[in-house]
Structure formats: structure tokens, C-alpha cells
Amino acid sequence: MTQRINYIQQSPELFKKFLEFSNALKNSAIEEAIRDLVSIRASQLNGCGFCLDMHVKEAHIHGERPLRLYHVATWRESTLFSPRERAALAWTEVLTKLPDHGVPDEIYERVLTQFNEKELSDLTFAVMVINGWNRANVAFRTVPGSADKAFGLDKANLA
């Protein structure tokens, strides 16, 4: 795969602002492990190899178990995820692939059993952010692993 343009170099101020917005999620009401799962699942759905590679490595660095990482794509069938994680993954999927008639009440109500309103709002922003990154990296074919050193992902020792 060959990268098209380097959007970071072409739009440095916008990249900086989006990165600040993205980093603000670290102080949100959503725990790191769920943010990792959300980023991985959205990246799988969007076919973003760069982001999938990055977030699997981040999750590994954060202590996530390898088997759970393997199971993210099949989370519905897996017994490795808590009800809260399942709700976050369902919310990620419905917001990433918006249905023609919006988010079904059944999914919204199910997710509200695991997240309070503040947490659900923060979770929604987490889904929005990863979908934004996915769209930029898919559009410009950012090469997976190409920013490992810059983001400290070489520490994952997964290459």
C-alpha cells in the first residue's frame, strides 16, 4: 500500500486541533480499556488498517489480553466481554454504521443500562473521534505501523 497524501503535513493546524480533541478523551468518564475496544471495533468496521494496527498495539501496551483482542470482531459470540463492554461495542457499531432510520430505541435503552448519561455522551464522542481518524487514514491510505516510533507503539513488541 502506498500512502496518498500526508494529511498531517497538509493541514497541520486542523490535525493539531483534532489530536487535542482526541486526547481530551483520556480525561473522559470512559475507562481506557473500553476506549481501546471502541477504537479497535470501529477500525475493523471501517477497514482502517492504520488505526486497527495502532489501537491493537495501544491496547496491548495498556495490558489488554491477546485473546480478547482476537475476539473483538466476534464480541457477540465471545464470553470474554462484560455487559458494559458489550454495550459499548454495540453502541460503537450502531454509530459507525448508522441505520437508515437512526439508532433503534432498543439499542439506546440497552446501552443506558450500562452507562449513565454523562458516560454515554463521552462514549459517543469516543466513537465520533475514531470514526474521524478512520476516515482520514482510509482516504489517504496511511500505512499501518508507519507512525509506531512517533507514537511509542514500538514498545508493544508486536511487529
pLDDT in tens, 134-149: 999 999 999 998 888 8
At position 146, the amino acid (one-letter code) is S
* Mean pLDDT, residues 58-74 taken together: 97
Instruction: Name the residue range of residue 138's domain.
Output: 14-147
What's the number of domains the chain is made of? 1
Tell me the C-alpha to C-alpha distance, in Å, between residue 97 and each of 37, 92, 159.
16, 9, 30
Planar angle of CA 158, 46, 85, nearest 5 degrees: 70
Predicted pLDDT at 136: 97
For residue 40, how many C-alpha atoms fall within 13 Å in the half-sphere facing its CB?
26
Residue 156 resides in a domain: no
Of residues 39 and 1, the one with the higher pLDDT is 39
Could you read off the pLDDT of 97-136 as tens digits, one per residue?
A: 999 999 999 999 999 999 999 999 999 999 999 999 999 9
Residue 155 resides in a domain: no
Q: Which pTM was predicted? A: 0.95
CATH number at residue 129: 1.20.1290.10
Of the chain, the end-to-end C-alpha distance in Å amounts to: 17
Rounded distance, CA 68 to CA 87, Å?
16
Planar angle of CA 138, 93, 71, nearest 5 degrees: 90
Residue 2 resides in a domain: no
Predicted pLDDT at 101: 94
Residue 6 resides in a domain: no
Which pLDDT band holds residue 47 (cuts at 50, 70, 90)? very high
Residue 9 resides in a domain: no
Given a cut of 90, is residue 154 above it in pLDDT?
no
Predicted pLDDT at 53: 97
Residue 159 resides in a domain: no
* Mean pLDDT, residues 87-95 taken together: 98
Rounded distance, CA 159 to CA 157, Å?
6
Residue 65 resides in a domain: yes
Rounded distance, CA 36 to CA 57, Å?
10
Could you read off the pLDDT of 10-43 as tens digits, one per residue?
A: 999 999 999 999 999 999 999 999 999 999 999 9
Residue 127 resides in a domain: yes
- Burial code (b: 16+ CB inside 10 Å, e: under 16) for 111-140 equals beebbeeebbebbbebbebbbebbebbbeb
